[in-house]
A and B are shown apart, each in its own frame.
Chain A
Amino acid sequence: MSCAETVDLLSRRRDNALAPGQRRALATHLADCPACRRRAQELDTAMTALWDLPAAAPQALRDGVYSKLAAPRLSWSLLPLAAGLLIGFTSAYLFVVKQGSPPPHSRLPTPVSQLPPSHPLPPTDYTLQLSDHARRADAFVRQAAALGDDGATFLQADYSLSDLGPRTRRLAAAPVPDEYSKRILQPLGPVVEALDRRDPAALAAVRRIGSDAGFRETLASYAGRSSEPSPVAVPEISDGELKDFLQAKSLFYAGRPGEALSRFQDFRARHPESPFADDAAFWMARAAAESGDYARALPLYIEVSDAIWLDPTELERLKSCAGALQLRLDAGATLDVQLPGDLDLNEILRDILANQVPHLPAGTITAVYQVVRTQLDKATLAALERISARYPALKVRDCGKGEWEITVPTSQVPKMREDAAVAEDLKAAEKKLPFLFKALKIRPSGSEGR
């Protein structure tokens, strides 16, 4: 292989687009050629520099777009839109005339505290969760102020990647979005927007967040009410620490989970006491799962499941990891997995789910491996029991109060499907409990939604 060829291969390596043969050829060449090794290092350095360019935030995008749409080319098809805009502008004008200078958000959503508790969700947990996000945002804001331009850059980069954290966003996309967005995201939205604008009132308000009560108080105060600031301990974060964390995260979002994983690992080694240590572990788990390294992802997930609330998407991912590992074990593979205690994935999963799943209303679990607790009608129960008689590894246990625990032996399901004696029952059970066997389709690494 010639040195000229490495230019192309080094580029493809950054995109994870090397064929195995090319990867080997490149590695061999790099081992022998100091000049190309240097070129590879320089390329990484240059790309890191490129990543340092701050993200841009468009100003007045929405207003600009609508005034452009409404202004020049008014056609019949656009009339309803134009009429809507006209009404919008008119009411805004009236508001200004009547109220004097309007608050930054003249149509603030109802504060959390005034929303009716219309759904049996435990809102406190979400509130605490968001309070946690907001606390991190506060840390970012403070850091940004200390770092000047660089800080603003990081702040912007983090928001543009994740708003107030990717978990918040995933929660919004989870099967509880209505209640969740009504109660949490809508009230928080103006704060986030104002933070994006570097609004001093919002910055001050976010600084007051420290607890559930503090969070509500902050939202209320931002809605124009007075409230006494309450002191809050914000973790100190060093410049390098924040930078390391965000760069590792950027790599993950750039679709390079392998590199992100090692960066987060470096981060934890370098900053063991960091307030982001748990987050780093979470991102390592996420990156390992994304890379298909389930043996590594699972213990990490287990490690963080105590410290960090895992949303439904993440639980699903965790279960995929466990399921994939279990399948390999069932197939006789030996896995080098460092798990606490015995390698009983079901037991471990049960523990984690017991801690995490009470947050979820019934029906939000769309893909479950191994152990499912659910209500069963007589016909489905009978069908499952018939399967169980032939495949004793499939267990159905009465948990009382109309609930049953079904343990599905993942590795036997393909066989069951082909077994004429139980195929009908399987189909019947699946009709009632479509999620029961669904997750058995293990998605290959990289195909999970980001």
Chain B
Amino acid sequence: MEIALLTKGPPQVAPDRTDEDLVRDLATGSTAALDALMARHGRAVATLLDRTLHDRSWIDDISQETFVRVFRRASTFRPGMTFKPWLYAIALNLSRDQNRRWGFWKRFLRTHPIREVAPAAPDTERVRLVREALSDLPEDFREVLVLCEIEGLSYAEASEATGSPAKTVSSRLARARDRFREAWLRRHPGEGADELR
């Protein structure tokens, strides 16, 4: 967040530097730029991962890894690219990799309890049900749903982030919304929409 950024000590960046400016600064090794990008997008990345990772105890680790890669791959960021989809693409790739390893980790942790996997704060019943409904969706459906519905990316941006064509994103999003609607209704059949407008 920007206020936090201003408290990190001497290295600061001008608030009018765009994300794209900052990622170009990263290529020269600017940690101030990295700080600023983390301050601006740290929460969004963690929130995205919160929705896409099977095991939410990895959110912190994958968030960190995302920004490590942002720093290391800054030189591959070409003029004309937009930062946010690029960032989300990195986070989503890491999330997919982690989800692939998830089955292994689940089995491993059952026999080797090496780290606490309990979530920091217990969810309310409603939040738990929303998470369950979301986890009913295939990974690619979850991704577009979170990117477009929650993060507000356009179809073109979500297409960059997921690596699928924009047309696919749009139709996948429609199906994802409908699947989530069904999944939510199964868990919350009593919730009509009458109170809405």
Contact B192 A14 (CB under 8 A): no
Check A41 for interface membership: any CB of B closer than 8 A.
Answer: yes
For the residues of B in contact with A, the DSSP-based class is: helix
Give chain A residues whose Cβ lies under 8 Å from the Cβ of B180.
Answer: 46-47, 50
Q: Which of A162-170, A283-291, A315-323, A327-335 contacts B (4 or more CB under 8 A)?
A: A162-170
> Which of these, A42, A80, A192, contacts B29 with CB under 8 Å?
A80
CA distance A312 to B71 in the complex (A): 34
Nearest Cβ in chain B — how far from A61, in angstroms?
5
* Range class of the A interface residue count: 35 or more
CA distance A78 to B30 in the complex (A): 10
Closest to A188 in B: B3
8 Å CB contact of A46 from B31, B175, B184, B194? B184
> Quick check: is A57 within 8 A (CB to CB) of the other chain?
yes
Interface pair B67/A52, CB less than 8 Å apart: no
Question: Does B109 interact with chain A (Cβ within 8 Å)?
Answer: no
B64 with A43: CB separation less than 8 A: no
Are the CB atoms of B38 and A185 closer together than 8 Å? no
**B9 contacts the other chain (Cβ, under 8 Å)?**
yes
B148 and A65 form a contact (CB under 8 A): no
Task: Mark each residue of chain B from 115 to 137: 1 if its CB lies under 8 Å from any CB of chain A, else 0.
Answer: 00000111110110111011000
| B160 nearest CB across to chain A (Å) | 16
Which B residues are in CB contact (< 8 Å) with A15?
148, 154-155, 173
A58 at the A/B interface (Cβ < 8 Å)?
yes
* Contact of B155 with A65 in the complex, beta carbons under 8 Å: no
Residue A254 interfacial (CB < 8 Å): yes
Q: How far is the CA of A190 from the CA of B154 in the complex (A)?
A: 35
The answer to whether A189 touches B4, judged by C-beta atoms less than 8 angstroms apart, is: yes
Contact B4 A192 (CB under 8 A): yes
Q: Given A48-B196, A160-B43, is A152 in contact with B185 using a C-beta cutoff of 8 Å? A: no
Minimum C-beta distance from B42 to chain A (A): 5
Contact A53/B130 with A65-B71, A68-B65 known, Cβ cut-off 8 Å: yes
Q: Could you say which of B67, B152, B192 contacts A254, with CB atoms under 8 Å apart? A: B152
The reply to whether B184 and A45 contact each other, CB–CB distance below 8 Å, is: yes
What residues on B are CB-neighbors of A59 within 8 Å? Answer: 60, 120
B42 lies within 8 A of A172 (CB): no
A156 to chain B, nearest CB (A): 9
C-alpha gap A446/B91 in the complex (Å): 28
Residues of B within 8 A of A84 (CB): 31
* A172 partner, pick from B6, B50, B64, B127, beta carbons under 8 A: B6
Contact A58 B9, CB 8 Å, known A46-B185, A80-B29: no
A62, closest chain B residue (CB): B38
Residue pair B130, A190 in contact (C-beta under 8 Å)? no
- The reply on B113 being an interface residue by CB < 8 A is no
Q: Mark B31-74, 1 if CB is under 8 A from A, else 0.
A: 10011001000111111011100001001110111011001100
How far is it, in angstroms, between the C-alpha of A38 and the C-alpha of B72 when the chains are bound? 49
Distance A169 CA – B170 CA, assembled complex (angstroms): 32
Tell me if B177 counts as interface (CB < 8 A to partner A): yes
Q: Is the CB of A58 within 8 A of B127?
A: no
Query: A185 touches which one: B3, B64, B188, B197 (CB < 8 A)?
Result: B3
- In Å, the complex CA distance between A150 and B134 comes to 19
Within 8 A of B (CB), among A163-221: 163-164, 168-169, 172-173, 177, 181, 185-186, 188-190, 192-193, 196
Given contact pairs A41-B192, A58-B43, enumerate 7 new A-B contacts (beta carbons under 8 Å): A42-B185, A53-B134, A55-B43, A56-B59, A64-B63, A65-B38, A65-B67
28 sampled A-B residue pairs with Cβ under 8 A: A11-B173, A11-B174, A12-B170, A12-B174, A42-B193, A44-B196, A45-B191, A45-B196, A50-B145, A53-B131, A53-B134, A55-B43, A56-B49, A56-B56, A58-B42, A58-B59, A59-B120, A61-B60, A69-B72, A109-B7, A169-B2, A172-B2, A172-B3, A172-B15, A181-B6, A181-B15, A192-B4, A193-B7
